[in-house]
Structure 1
Amino acid sequence: MEAVRILGGIPPKAAWTDRIQLSGWYHWSRLEALLKNDGKWTRDQIASLSAESLRVLRHLPDPKSDFPFQGRGLVVGYVQSGKTANYTAVAARAVDAGYRIVVVLSGIHDSLRNQTQNRLERELTGHQSDGVAPAELGREWICLTTPTDDFQEPDVRILQSPAPFLAIVKKHTVILGKLDKWLDSASRYLFDMPVLIIDDEADQASINTKGNRPPDPSIDDGDDEDTTSAPSKTNALIRSILGRAPKASYIAYTATPFANIFIDPTAVDRRVGEDLFPRDFVIQLPRPDGYTGTEELFGSTARDRNVLQPVPEEDIKSLRSARRKKSTQIVIDRKPDSLPLSLSNALISFCLAGSIRSLRPQFEDAPHTMLVHVSQRIPDQERIAASIREQVELWRAADAQQQNLEGIFRPVWNEFKGGVAAPADEQTIIRAAISVLRQLDVVTLNSDSNQNLEYDTKPGRHIVAVGGNRLSRGLTLEGLTVSYFLRTTSMADTLLQMARWYGFRHGYEDLIRIWTTDGIARWFAELALVEQSLRDAIVSLGQAGRRPNQMALRLRAHSELLLTARNKSRTAATQADSWSGEHPQTVMLPLSEPSKLTANLELTTNLLSALRPSERFHGGYIARDVSAAVIIEFLRNYQTHDDIVALRPNLLADWIAARSTVDELVDWTVFVPSPSSGNPTKLGDLEVGLVKRSPLSSEGIGILTDPAHEGVDLPEGPEGFKRESGAYDAEAMRAARPASQGLLIVYPLDPEILRVSNINAVIAIALSLPRTSDEGANWVVNSEVTRD
């Protein structure tokens, strides 16, 4: 067992993959050549994929090892950010290294499984005409599944072939049961056939939500009928499949790994063995260039674009039908409900976005999609889709009768055009939008409908996709511009996966619009901080040189949502408050409470009058050598929104006071950003330019901090902490900060943009905090992870 732990643990400096010569990467080279000729991949992107796939492979056990092994790992990406590309490259490299069977567990729906099969046949096996060239004799892949057929238990003698094998398998218990039974019958071939299981969307269905049968030597596994404490079926089958091969590795892929992190690392079932906790490694994939994520849509970079559109409460009520008792009466000829104004405007905006794309030459015949996700209930979806079709037909009929649709479209264009790079004059754009209206296809995607997106067979369509769960978890909505999203949930991972607007929006970033509620927008704004805490924790694990079963990953708790379902997080535990290495900030402001805004302005004016910051530095004013007592007093008097969690001034003040007793956080800098482009105002004797931050909800502004500001007081300055992409690395700034040195950033926000009157500045604050010696965390950890 110890040999297995070493093989699957943190790779040494001389990794086992070093045995493979450059010419040995045969299947990876075929994929690399395809990407180079594809035209959609840049040289840097291919180089990153090459490096990251090799990094993942190095953490797996060496398939040529003389020892049996059971590897367990986790790869974390961003929602719709290229995880499939990474595991395709990992599969190619794994076969080059000696793995013989690759099984991809691809979601719970046929649509995603079929999509994945087609993609891997194109990019990996060479079974698609427009993909990689067919492999040479003896190295050709044998596919055990097809684009239309899931796993069907072929004759086990097929495993006598020296070729690598690929199976794309839906996470359905019947299919997994077939695979498990087949591998059991093929045991005589598996002794020296290392198996790699790649679990796509691994926090869905794969997590054990039940129990584990404890070891009992008196019970013969064959006679074991204990189902009361058995693992959940899908989880048990995956564990059983892994146990069929003497040499097997399991890699979980997901963008929302909260449930995976909370698996009990000690859990073992007497029939199906150890659980799927990623005990050997957790890897964070880098953020791809050009990726649009939570921060871009709900944080600081979304402020200059008109991304978020509020949906009034009355519109929400009209779209959600009241739940009724079941009736035996069959209702026919039910007239669809009329659309609320917000959804009508969203549809017109989608037509406008389509018109602008059509006027940009790179999007000729490119698919264009709108998301409508209001309810998980199929009757609601069908009713809303019918209402949309009815409204579209009314508009088309008016157009056919040469009625003036431009008068309907123009007011929406006036709202939509903010931040848009218009490729033509207003009239041309509106006429093109009416042309898009004539082409709209309204598609209902749920388990009862037989409709699909058909991007490959029907290119260039403008699709309004109405649905629920089928619209999440890996299914890509190509050319997504407009989303109408009212779906609520109690779990952060579910919410992130339902949001299909993430991904790459090259050439049409300015067209993204999201209609949603203030509450949902606030959830997403805080999720940007939750996601960052996760990525910081993974980086810290790697820097510490520890495996995940040796050091618990610390996750920021969301103030209103569970990170994942309770039955997936039974090992989750909270720890004491600590802000070590964090950057708390006021993502919500008491904009509807003038007394608090006035008190904060007076508090800040008094602080700056006492400190007299006069040094102009990095676009602001800086005061150095401020005592901890001054910062503590300021925080105790600063007034926040009642619902804020990320920055709690009194608790922060208590923590700073406690750290100062051990000579930490005793030396402070206060920085006041003052952009030259901001409207001027006075804070005491200090004249500053107001900072622009747009509201993302009635009380929220999303991300407040400019990453560059966290380095203003460091010797290297912000410029010393730039990534290759040119972005500032604020996490590295906090890591470089001495434990004694804290930074308070006071942002004077422009009240006009925040729609606040009778005050000359709205005061928001942020802190950049060093790593301190206390080990407490105010967030959530896996309570079963051991520490040594």
Structure 2
Amino acid sequence: MSQISTLQDQALRTARFLLDLGHSKDDVLSNQLIPAELREWVANRLEEESNKTFERARVISSTEELHDWLLSVDRSEWYYWKTLRSYLLGYKGWSKDTVLSLDDASDRILRELKPPSTAEFDIRGLVLGYVQSGKTANFTAVIAKAADAGYRLIVVFSGIDNGLRRQTQLRLNRELTGYPTNPRGAVRLPPVGRQWHQFTSDDLDGDFSIGRANHAALQGSQPVLLVIKKNGAVLRRLKAWFDSAPPEVRLTLPALFIDDEADQASVDTRGSYQTQAAFDADNPDYEAPAVINGLIRSLISIFSRRAYVAYTATPFANILIPHNTYDGAVGSDLYPKDFFIDLPKPPGYFGTEEFFGRFDSNGNESVSGLDVVRIIPAKEVVSLLQDNLLPASLNLSLFAFVLGGAARAKRGKGDAPSTMLVHTSQRIADQAPTKKLIENRFREIKDLWRYDRNGGIREGLKVLWEEDFIPTSSGIPDAPVDTFMDIEPFIGPFMEAVVVREINSDTGEVLDFEREPSLKAIAVGGNRLARGLTLEGLLVSFFARRSPQYDTLLQMARWYGYRAGYEDLTRIYTTSELAGWFTDLALVEYRLRQDMQVYEQIPGLKPSELGMRILQHPSMQVTSALKRRTGVATIISQSYSLQLEQTFKFPLQDEARLALICEENRQATKSFLQRLGGSDKKTKFGPVWSEVSAAEIVKFIRGFSTDIEVSSFSSELIAAWIERQNLSGDLVSWTVAVRGRDEEDKELGRASWLPNDEPAVWNISRTRIRGTNSLGVITTPGDEAIGLTDLEVIAADAKMASGEHRDRNRAARYSRSSQKALLLIYPISKKSGHDPAALAKGRESLYKDPSNSLARDLIGLAISFPKTKTDGPSEAYLEGSARWRPCI
């Protein structure tokens, strides 16, 4: 099977390459390089690719459409992009639509740069991608096209250590510059006259040095490529060399600066916030910019023709750069004044949303993640870091790595790299003991498999495969489902190939996939594994490093990327807190890109005139305090109008705390319903009260307890907003409904907080997302239609019939009078999820032991707000000096 797959792959790559050379499809399919028995299969694959479309990058730009300089460029003489394109199709095996998407996105970026012949220009832009999603491929394409178009100096700022700088240099050498020896796996060395001048190399210590640089290269016709570490000493050397170049070079040389991971080190964390018009270096409060930021700004300002393009997947710090900051010594700051570009999510990419899901209580929207997240109990992290004991979850993750590697080998990828990440602490002192524990345990596992396989190790692996891997693979479309016997022959060879390495500045150990293309490794580390470095074939991550900052946490997620063909074998072992945070960050990322989509539709809107808003979190910070020091915490005037607010997060990991909250809410709910008196209507699911005053609702909401550490439901913010709407005559009359089960279920029990004259209400079942504090969504379709008048029901039905709204709840929300609103109260059984057959994929019961004295039934709230006449603040965001525009 694996041999057939390899032959198919080779045939398809060859066909793509021949097509790119200009051969007709018929000639390609009859070519002897394509085996006769594979020609029909290749033809079908090529047909599928030709029918695919791609999503275009979103652009917010200062450039007017009439000034698209690329339209007048003759691309027939281009060399670097055509060579790279053929390499991607022929050697790397990229599909045609993927290359077309890269072509289009890189064109959109190049279009924002000025023609290199322009007398003088200063362009600053930001390209937003996803973590490990192909940003390097994008800026490699941009560099190739820029060089073809006439940009003669390209400087890439890459990483803050030698390893990351070298990784980028290797990639650019392999795909862009070539080598004199023309090794396999790299583009061929360009012909004489098109070869690159390089004064940095892919040696570990190959950073810029004046001793091997030559100013004459800046005066010739061949492009110059420098890959530079973001390090003060290196940047000063580069600046000294640029400063000593002939004046005409600095005046006329078109220079492109690419800043990879631009939110790291490049952002000013110290300088004074002054504008050019009011700059005063003698001001007693004046402070020079931070070292790296100041050096990058000064390097850029040396040249009269310059473009700076920042690349990042975590743009929070870049968005918060004041848009008009100026320093007399180093010039303007790095705010992307000219363009924002949001790269599309590539097909086959797995990121925050794909792994952890996304839940938006406002929109009642739920996106489930892959069932690959496994929870590490908090006490086991303590036992590892403080007591130096190997926890059960880490032992299980080692088993999962062995099984995942063996299964991947069974699928024909035995020669591909396979890695496991262990990241529990940034302290190097913690990493060495952890490595030793893993090394010793993995040696034991290998010995048990070699010499005592039937003593328990085989059964343990078999149980994990059958109880974890088979159900997960079965739930993912097109994933192979192998038996344990199918993969067993591959376990031993995989184990024997595995090495354990400690990746930090003390050990000098590295993961070099160029030199070890089939590397099987368990990598133990911290900061060196936290950003930029790609772990090829990452199967299992054991991640317990707590970092309450959006950008740091997202960048540490090295499991993001392309997992096609083995996504079902991926496992992420992490704490419940971190799993919940990643789910919340999926919403943060989604909202940010939604805003970009809105801004793109506004003609003439310049990046210098707008600001992105970043949704704030009750427990995390957007970025470090120094990077957000000029940010403004604000309440955006985006009201609760037409929103659905739900209490779907509870401190389920802290049962003592949860028990206290549940008891407080039981008493608060009982008192509230008693004050309302007898219900107006008895339904099969529970009582309904009409014409309830807003004052009663506000009093109840303010007395309802939530845990600020886990819940995004802000009782005080909601209550205050309702009161403001009451001043305009909105939300003055409420419907209150207790939404229990439609039929009796004695196992789930019934609500214990109803007034005595009300009939029994049966508890509902709501399971939680595995390992998190979240239930996802607690409402059911049609709940928001409760309390509508006959005319409002007709209006909702019409919206559904016309296709204006496909969701019944949303149609109801849009049909309700602005004077009225709906409060739904859900009795949730503590025994939810204790029927394994009823558990959905990726779900688990609320309590492991519902008979525990601390276990309590939960009370959930959902508030459905109609469209109100006026808007008022609701959500907290962080903004920079360029402010978000809620309505234009």
% of aligned pairs identical?
A: 36
Deviation at 1:338, TM superposition (A): 4.7
Quick one: which amino acid aligns to residue 332 of structure 2?
A: E
Q: Is the radius of gyration larger for structure 1 or structure 2?
A: 2
TM-score by length of 1: 0.80
2:255 is aligned to 195
Q: 2:147 — aligned with what?
A: 95
Deviations 1:627-683 (A, max 9, x none): 99999899678764453452224422432553576688999999999999xx99999
In the alignment, structure 1 residue 56 sits paired with structure 2 residue 109: yes
| Equivalent residue number for residue 420 of structure 1 | 473
Which residue in 2 is equivalent to 1:140? 195
- 1:654 correspondence with 2:738: no
Residue of structure 2 in register with 1:468 after alignment: 526
Within 2, Cα distance between the matches of 1:535 and 1:641? Answer: 28
CA drift of 1:230 comes to 2.2
Specify the alignment match of 2:629 in structure 1. 570
Query: How far 1:345 moved relative to its partner?
Result: 1.3
Q: In the alignment, what sits opposite 2:592?
A: 534
Q: What is the distance in 1 between the residues matched to 2:83 and 2:737?
A: 53
Give the conservation status (yes or no) of the 8 Å contact 1:674–1:690. no
Superposed displacement of residue 366, structure 1: 1.0
SS at match of 1:62: coil
State whether residues 579 and 778 of structure 1, in contact with CA within 8 Å, keep that contact through their aligned partners in structure 2: no
The match for 2:220 among 161, 170, 176 is 161
1:205 and 2:265 aligned = yes
- What is the Cα deviation at residue 94 of structure 1? 2.3
Alpha-carbon distance in 2 for matches of 1:773, 1:75: 33
Would the aligned equivalents of 1:571 and 1:784 in 2 still touch at CA under 8 Å?
no
The alpha-carbon distance between structure 1 residues 46 and 384, as it changes in their structure 2 partners (threshold 3 A), is same
Cα 1:654–1:228 shift into 2, 3 Å: closer
SS of residue paired to 1:574: strand
Give 1:369's match in structure 2, choosing from 419, 426, 431. Answer: 419
Indicate how the Cα distance of structure 1 residues 116 and 467 shifts in structure 2: closer, same or farther if over 3 A, else same: same
Q: 1:628 to 1:284 in 2, by over 3 A?
A: farther
> Do residues 243 (structure 1) and 341 (structure 2) align?
no
Deviation for aligned residue 1:746: 9.2
Are residues 779 and 113 of structure 1, via their aligned partners in 2, closer, same or farther at CA, if it must alter by over 3 Å? same
For 1:376-421, what per-residue CA distance to the aligned partner results, in whole angstroms no more than 9, with x for missing partners? Answer: 1112111111111111222233334335221342343355324134
Deviation at 1:499, TM superposition (A): 1.5
Q: Who is 1:123 aligned against?
A: 175
Long gaps (5+) in structure 2: 1-59, 359-366, 475-479, 653-657, 685-690, 752-758, 785-795, 834-843
2:782 and 2:231 map into 1 onto residues whose CA distance is: 47
1:317 aligned residue (363, 378, 382): 382
The answer for the alignment partner of 2:612 in structure 1 is 553
- Secondary structure at the residue paired with 1:483? strand
What does residue 81 of structure 2 align with?
28
- After superposition, where does 1:442-453 map in structure 2 within 5 Å? 442-453=500-511
Contact map agreement 1:192 1:247 (CA 8 A) in 2: yes
Aligned partners of 2:153 and 2:254 also within 8 Å: yes
Map of 1:386 onto structure 2: 436
C-alpha separation in 1, matches of 2:817 and 2:216: 63
644-653 vs 370-379, which deviates more?
644-653
Say whether 1:406 aligns with 2:458.
yes
The answer to whether structure 1 residue 355 and structure 2 residue 412 are counterparts is no
The residue that corresponds to 1:307 in the other structure is 373
Q: Structure 1 residue 259: deviation in Å?
A: 1.3
Q: Is the Cα contact below 8 Å between 2:609 and 2:882 reproduced in 1? A: no
1:246 CA drift (Å): 0.4
RMSD, aligned CA: 4.9
CA distance in 2, matches of 1:642, 1:307: 24
Find the aligned partners of 1:74 and 1:257 in 2 and give their Cα distance: 8
Matching residue of 1:14: 66
SS of match in other structure, 2:89: helix
CA shift in 2, pair 1:53/1:216, >3 Å: closer
* CA distance 1:38–1:396, change in 2 (3 Å): same
Is the counterpart of residue 429 in structure 1 residue 487 in structure 2?
yes
Residues 692, 749 of structure 1: 8 Å contact kept? no
1:588 maps onto 2:641 in alignment: no
1:521 CA drift (Å)? 2.0
2:136 to 63, 84, 93: 84
Residue 93 of structure 1 aligns to a residue in which SS? helix
- The aligned counterpart of 1:257 is 315
State whether structure 2 residue 769 is matched by structure 1 residue 694. Answer: yes
Amino acid of the residue matched to residue 413 of structure 1? W
Distance verdict in 2 for CA 1:258–1:709, change over 3 Å:
farther
> Relative to 1, partners in 2 of residues 1:650 and 1:365: Cα closer, same or farther, differing over 3 Å?
same
Equivalent residue in structure 2 for 1:181, among 215, 240, 264: 240
Contact 2:766 2:775 in 1 (8 A): no
Q: CA shift at 1:505, angstroms?
A: 0.9
Deviation by residue 1:91-115 (Cα, 9 ceiling, x = unmatched): 2222333322111101012111111
Q: Which string of whole-angstrom CA distances, capped at 9 and with x for unpartnered residues, describes residues 446-494 of structure 1?
A: 0112211122322333210000101021111111121111112242211
Aligned-partner Cα distance in 2 for 1:494–1:220: 34
Cα distance change of structure 1 residues 626 and 317 upon mapping to structure 2, 3 Å threshold = same
SS of the aligned residue for 1:566 comes to coil
Aligned positions of 1:750-765 closer than 5 A: 751-752=832-833, 753-756=844-847, 763=860, 765=862
Assess, with a 3 A threshold, how the Cα gap between structure 1 residues 627 and 280 changes in structure 2: closer, same or farther.
Answer: farther
| Residues 1:276 and 2:326 aligned together | no
Q: 1:327 — aligned with what?
A: none
User: What secondary structure sits across from 1:308 in the alignment?
Assistant: strand
2:337 is paired with a residue of what secondary structure?
A: coil
- Cα-to-partner distance string for 1:210-240 (whole Å, 9 max, x where unaligned): 22497999x999xx9x998222221111011
CA shift, 1:151, in A, is 1.7
User: 1:560-709, aligned counterparts within 5 Å?
Assistant: 560-576=619-635, 578-580=637-639, 586-589=647-650, 591=652, 592-593=658-659, 594-595=662-663, 640-656=706-722, 658-659=724-725, 693-697=768-772, 699-701=773-775
**CA distance 1:675–1:472, shift in 2 (3 Å):** farther
